A and B are shown apart, each in its own frame.
Chain A
């Protein structure tokens, strides 16, 4: 395989990424490679820097040092058109962040129309298709506050998908949800993974990571402690820190499975 072909196979490449907030160094040299169609889950204790890493991938946080390349475009280049680059990177937030003054349909179409310059008709067609994809067809006139958390998060996923992204970032998408609503959102994400979407997911849902991820990264204190296929990192962790974290998070009966 030629080098060029190998390069184009890579959706996200993060190299030696550092991020400090004032004197606190949150990321201390992260390397990460996500291939096209791959699902990578990032796990780790709170404060380990996993959300910050994700937010550096679309430069919602400006990295202090290191490079982020998505689809061959270096986002850490100061001259890059970051708005153009972000169109191809969908992001789903822990707190949904639906535009609270817009109904569901307008949430799905506002960026399509203002950023991608799609006609209202095209935007609504795309929006509707994605609303169906997340199982919420018929709710296009609802306001965000009228929806449950799980529904809001699925609308947020549909909103990101409506931009036809190449990569989807999920920042603890189920952490703010009532337990009985988590399943719906994870179901949508699983289908998305099956359809071949490239996904980078920060999550505490070990079962999801285990079943859906191609690769799992365990982060602690700003570094990647362990990475590999889920059956290894979650199933048979080599590092002591990974084992300690997992035994705290997982029900012991699950660890033994």
Chain B
């Protein structure tokens, strides 16, 4: 009974390994590998997806995401500045915007923009424009809060120095504060880009012509035709090709700016 703490930890570790091995063995011996292969890894089906899965679907996913991110970032900047405004009404409006669109499923916003606007205004809305607006609206709600935090993280002395040189509050914000804020929030912004990449799959719920397919829709159509899950796997891998480098980039940026938040001596990209 008298077992040392170290000994007991060792025993527990071995028990865990044993369970793990047992599970793997059970799966390996009971699974129908032939069936699984044809369901998930049907090379013939996979081969048929190329090159369109890249030239159309992956490209469209990147385009939708980039458009949405760009529009969202611009919108987020406006909302963040309203959030920090001395005008109370601006603060209210931006606060309501953030709470509203952070609380709604992205899908609802996409449906509202993609089908609601054409119905309400009796116009045609291009798929790319619709997604840019919808993804932008959703992304802006998150990015506005990130931006606000970044702006507030810029030391007060920077503002005082700029004002003492005769810069107006607006000029100070644009030339001194916001460039520094962006440097601070680059890692969380990269994460937002990853989230938007995945949210762009919701384009599936808006009708699209073949040339407008993004990864998820492309995978789904192939899935229906081939009766194999391989297209989903291929499309999934394509998402990872986009998102994994982004998450590495985010972690790299975080490490580079980590701790010392403001000064990154090696960066010279901001031209005055």
Contact = CB atoms under 8 A, between A and B. Distances in A.
B93 interface: no
A46 interface: no
B250 to A, nearest CB: 20
Given A60-B164, A97-B160, A101-B176, 6 more contacts: A58-B164, A93-B161, A99-B180, A100-B263, A143-B266, A143-B267
B272 A106 contact: yes
Interface stretch (B96-104, B165-173, B210-218): B165-173
A137 interface: no
Given A93-B157, A145-B263, A113 B164 contact: no
Interface in A89-115: 89-91, 93, 95, 97-103, 106, 109-111, 113-115
B175 interface: yes
B168 A83 contact: yes
Contact of B180 (A91, A101, A115, A156): A101
Interface string B150-165: 0000010110111111
28 contacts: A83-B168, A86-B164, A89-B164, A90-B164, A91-B164, A93-B157, A93-B160, A98-B161, A99-B158, A99-B161, A99-B176, A100-B158, A100-B263, A101-B176, A101-B179, A101-B180, A101-B183, A101-B262, A106-B272, A110-B176, A111-B165, A114-B167, A145-B265, A159-B165, A160-B164, A160-B165, A163-B165, A163-B166
Kindly name the residue among B165, B262, B264, B272 whose own CB sees the greatest number of chain A CB atoms within 10 A: B165
B5 interface: no
Interface size class of B (residues with CB under 8 A): 20 to 34
4 interchain residue pairs of minimum CB distance:
A111-B165, A87-B166, A97-B161, A145-B263
Interface of B: 155, 157-158, 160-168, 171, 175-176, 179-180, 183, 262-268, 270-272
B180 A110 contact: no
A96 to B, nearest CB: 8
Interface residues of A, number: 34
A101 B270 contact: yes
A3 interface: no
Nearest to A147: B265
B270 A102 contact: yes
A86 B162 CA distance: 10
Contact of B166 (A100, A111, A144): A111
Nearest to B261: A100
B184 to A, nearest CB: 10
A60 B176 contact: no
B9 to A, nearest CB: 45
A1 interface: no
A163 B167 CA distance: 12
Given A83-B168, A100-B263, A103-B268, A111 B183 contact: no
Contacts of B179: 101
Given A114-B171, A115-B171, A143-B265, A97 B166 contact: no
A102 B162 CA distance: 13
